[in-house]
Amino acid sequence: MPHAPFIIASFAVTGVGISWLVISSYLAMRRTEASADELRQQP
């Protein structure tokens, strides 16, 4: 049984999972902090 597909699949699952988590968390943080700052500057 060739091992390469199993290794590639493991690294791919990890890469996709962590990338999704980092990007979604970063975008949510930027968006929410920008909204909070914008709201604070309103009179």
Partner 1 sequence: MHRRVMHRFANPARFLRIAKPLTPWLLWSGIALTLGACLWGAFFTPTERLMGDTVKIIFVHVPAAWLGMGGWTGIAIASIVQLVWRHPLAGVSARAIAVPGATFAAICLITGSIWGRPTWGTWWVWDGRLTSMLVLFFLYLGYIALSNASSEKGDTSRVAAVFGIIGAVNIPIINRSVIWWESQHQKASITLGGSSIDQAYLVPLFVSVAGFSLLFGALVLMRMRTALAEMRIEARMRRMADY
Rounded Cα distance between 15 and 21, Å, is 10
Q: ∠9-21-24 over CA atoms, to 5°?
A: 135
Rounded Cα distance between 11 and 43, Å, is 50
* Closest distance of CB 43 from partner 1, Å: 10
* Closest distance of CB 11 from partner 1, Å: 6
The letter for the amino acid at 15 is G
Determine, following the binding rule CB under 8 A, whether residue 11 of this chain makes contact with partner 1.
Answer: yes
Q: In the complex, which residues of this chain contact partner 1 (CB under 8 A)?
A: 1, 3-4, 6-7, 9-11, 13-14, 17-18, 21-22, 25-26, 28-29, 32-33, 35-36, 39-40
